[in-house]
Amino acid sequence: MTQRVLTGITTTGTPHLGNYVGAIRPAIAASREAGVDSFFFLADYHALIKCDEPARIERSRMALAATWLAAGLDTERVTFYRQSDVPEITELNWLLTCVTAKGLMNRAHAYKASTDINVAAGEDPDHGVTMGLFCYPVLMAADILMFNAHRVPVGRDQVQHIEMARDVAQRFNHLFGREFFTLPDAQIDAEMALLPGLDGRKMSKSYDNVVPLFEGGSKGLKDAIARIVTDSRLPGEPKDPDSTALTTLFEAFATPEQTAAFRAELVAGLGWGEAKQRLYQQIEAEIGPMRARYEALMAAPEQLEALMQQGAQRARAIAAPFLAELRAAVGLRPFQPLAAASSAATQKAALPVFKQYREADGRFYFKLTAADGRLLLQSAGFEQGREAGQWVGRLKAEGAAALAQAPVSLADGVAAEEVGAALAALAEA
Ligand code: TRP
């Protein structure tokens, strides 16, 4: 079966070598595998959560589009689009918002980190927190569920968001009675390993230690490499290959044999200046040929725009019919004679129903509702979903006899006899 792989890139920065090695290169390689249907998109709505500078957003989304294409993304194979070009995603975002427990969002790491900082600083916990930040995981769930992705390659910091997308999908499926959504799995790539920056810490804009990928041209690359921190050993003195980020950077662009030879030369006394020159050549051999394409695309925005429009069209061809199904499922349907609609509804509801679900407190519950939708029975919360399932099984099989032992309470104004009759009706069906 085809595996749908989907990932988004927030458009707030311009890519550096760490992004290339950690995300762009492995994602493009994966998109070339047989049996994989890839969806890569620019998460420009997510960018608005972190950034209110229009010029920066504009520049970043264009640079990112050009970077992915220059790095070899094949728009014939991959559905490549801007999130904001697919209005179905924001519409789904709302359908999902309406079934997402606020308590689930309260537990999101990114939100909690903000409130922790505020509390530590003696501020109101929600100081500076927008609804965008608070609801960030719901929009991300909409991104993923819109295309029913099986696998979502992400960094470790995003794993909780994928779990939340699963929770939200399950809740929707349960409420509306069908497996509308595939439950996605996070894929944490071994290749997503973090590349060190100039000073040996993780390469990140916030540490100001990045090597730009295309920006600044080959000179920019060379200048950044010249700033890699090394010790002061002179040419001819033996070097420790692991004393600097140079070796790891080299390794990311070399075969194991080339890396072994490079290490041996350092031990044998290769000068740092010469070593940096080798590193430059090694990286340039891979990305130099891509740079020309990057620059050509940046100089031809109308061409980039046309490619993104095509991508959006392809994405919408999938999203629009699916969204129509989802709208109908929640009751947003074209008007039709209600008699027809409601008789279909009553046929389906002719029997009492057990529903199992999980609450924001993490516990599992079940309830029994009458054919007309009134609540009859409400269970206590269980640690394990299995326990709830077992009680439902017993109540169905043993009827009123199991009622006295089950950890349940009758709804207000409901007599035990009515519940017994409902269970009997279920058992008969
Ligand atoms: N939040 C992700 C990040 O910052 C970007 C993103 C948005 C994403 N929507 C997504 C990633 C959907 C995977 C799937 O890295």
CA 136 / ligand 1 centre spacing (Å) = 10
Instruction: Answer yes or no: are the C-beta atoms of 367 and 354 closer than 8 Å.
Output: yes
The verdict on domain 205-298 having CATH code 3.40.140.10 is no
Instruction: Answer yes or no: are the C-beta atoms of 245 and 196 closer than 8 Å.
Output: yes
Q: Residues 346, 350, 354, CA angle at the centre, nearest 5°?
A: 115
Give the up-direction half-sphere exposure of residue 236: CA atoms within 13 A in the CB hemisphere: 1
In this structure, is the dihedral angle defined by the CA atoms of residues 94, 100, 106 and 107, taken in order, positive or negative? negative
Residue nearest to atom 7 of ligand 1 (CA): 8
Residue nearest to atom 14 of ligand 1 (CA): 7
Ligand 1 atom with the smallest distance to the CA of 157 is: 15
Average confidence (pLDDT) over 245-259: 95
Q: What is the pLDDT of residue 131?
A: 97
Q: Reply yes or no on whether the pLDDT at 341 is more than 60.
A: no
Q: What is the pLDDT of residue 429?
A: 74
Neighbours of 283 (CB within 10 A): 24
Closest-CA residue to 211 (of 274, 276, 269, 155) = 276
- Looking at the domain covering 3-194+300-327, what would its CATH class be? alpha beta
CA 103 / ligand 1 centre spacing (Å) = 21
Q: Reply yes or no on whether the pLDDT at 399 is more than 70.
A: yes
- Our answer on whether the CB atom of 88 is closer than 6 Å to any ligand 1 atom is no
Q: What's the rounded Cα separation, in Å, for the pair 353 and 114?
A: 42
Q: What is the pLDDT of residue 339?
A: 62
Q: Reply yes or no on whether the pLDDT at 258 is more than 70.
A: yes
CA 376 / ligand 1 centre spacing (Å) = 42
Average confidence (pLDDT) over 83-95: 98
- Our answer on whether the CB atom of 259 is closer than 6 Å to any ligand 1 atom is no
Q: What is the pLDDT of residue 254?
A: 95
> Where along the chain do its domains lie?
3-194+300-327, 205-298, 338-428
Q: What's the rounded Cα separation, in Å, for the pair 143 and 132?
A: 15
- Our answer on whether the CB atom of 140 is closer than 6 Å to any ligand 1 atom is yes
Residue 49, CA distances (Å) to 10, 57, 133, 401 in order? 10, 11, 6, 55
Question: What backbone phi and psi angles, to 5 degrees, belong to 74?
Answer: -100, 110
Average confidence (pLDDT) over 265-271: 96
Average confidence (pLDDT) over 213-227: 94
Chain-centroid distance of CA 339 in Å reads 42
Q: Reply yes or no on whether the pLDDT at 49 is more than 70.
A: yes
155 or 103: whose pLDDT is higher? 103
Q: Reply yes or no on whether the pLDDT at 404 is more than 80.
A: yes
| Average of per-residue pLDDT values in the chain | 92
Average confidence (pLDDT) over 136-147: 98
Confidence of residue 144 (pLDDT cuts 50, 70, 90): very high
Mutate to test the pocket of ligand 1, among 5, 7, 61, 160 (most ligand atoms within 8 A of CB): 7
Q: Reply yes or no on whether the pLDDT at 256 is more than 60.
A: yes
Q: Reply yes or no on whether the pLDDT at 253 is more than 80.
A: yes
Q: What is the pLDDT of residue 340?
A: 59
Confidence of residue 22 (pLDDT cuts 50, 70, 90): confident
Confidence of residue 299 (pLDDT cuts 50, 70, 90): very high
59 or 341: whose pLDDT is higher? 59
Q: What is the pLDDT of residue 344?
A: 52
Q: What is the pLDDT of residues 185-198, one digit of tens each?
A: 999 866 556 789 99
DSSP letters, 382-414, are BSSHHHHHHHHHHHHHHTHHHHTTSSEEEPTT-
Neighbours of 292 (CB within 10 A): 11
Confidence of residue 89 (pLDDT cuts 50, 70, 90): very high
Average confidence (pLDDT) over 367-371: 91
Q: What's the rounded Cα separation, in Å, for the pair 196 and 246?
A: 9
Confidence of residue 130 (pLDDT cuts 50, 70, 90): very high
Q: What is the pLDDT of residue 205?
A: 82
Residue 80, CA distances (Å) to 7, 31, 121, 149, 342 in order? 10, 11, 42, 14, 42
Ligand 1 atom with the smallest distance to the CA of 6 is: 14
Q: What is the pLDDT of residue 96?
A: 98
Neighbours of 232 (CB within 10 A): 6
CA 356 / ligand 1 centre spacing (Å) = 31
Record the tokens describing residue 294, joined without a space. Answer: 């990057």
